Amino acid sequence: MSAGTNTPVIGVLALQGDVREHLIALASADAVARPVRRPEELAEIDALVIPGGESTTMSKLAVLFGMLEPLRERVRAGMPVYGTCAGMIMLADKLLDGREDQETLGGIDMIVRRNAFGRQNESFEAQVDFAGIEGGPVEGVFIRAPWVESVGGAAEVLATYDGHTVAVRQGNVLATSFHPELTGDDRVHAYFVDMVRAGL
């Protein structure tokens, strides 16, 4: 699947959300990036980014496009995945304030609260210290952002803001409450690309 020596092919789930920004950030971090909408496209990638957007809509579209079970299978099989905002919600094993019919992929032993930081008009930016990323804090863009209420023993907290967990990693799966793809700083994407590259 890799395009060249140690160059990972990373898909961005293109059902809904800020797909283009992730494609640009991944390319800046020396990955081959492509949109993914169908199971056959999912089969051709080394790793996947699940972008921000509206988590309920995203889960419904995943069902509609026949992607939900193939996504779950790849996550269970160990494919590296990075979810931002709604993507974090999709990767949670359990949700608070989710809709009854809302589906998740699982992948991280964490309980996530949807829209925990408030509504759209309460969006904000903040400096976030991120374990494992050099060069000082990363800029976090929080838009109707979730936070992590609690994590299980296998999950590692990488960043907190205002006392709340906003970045978590469990094995090959990474999730952030915030949107690094909107800042022009590709260090979080580079961190994920390095995770992927280590497994190739």
Residue 171 DSSP symbol: T
> 148, 168 in Cβ contact below 8 A?
yes
Q: For this structure, is 179 an active site residue?
A: yes
Q: Annotated catalytic residue: which of 21, 22, 103, 181?
A: 181
Structure tokens at 139: 């800029």
The residue annotated as part of the active site, out of 22, 103, 179, 189, is: 179
φ, ψ of residue 7 to 5 degrees: the values are: -105, 105
Looking at residue 15, the DSSP 8-state letter turns out to be S
Catalytic residue among 85, 103, 122, 149: 85
Torsion, Cα of 14, 20, 23, 25 (10° steps): -140
- Annotated active-site residue 134? The verdict is no
Any catalytic annotation for residue 22? no
CA distances from 68 to 121, 142, 187 (A): 31, 26, 29
Structure token pair of residue 91: 């990767």
Query: Helices in 29-183 by DSSP H: which ranges?
Result: 39-42, 55-64, 68-76, 86-91
Active site residues: 85, 179, 181
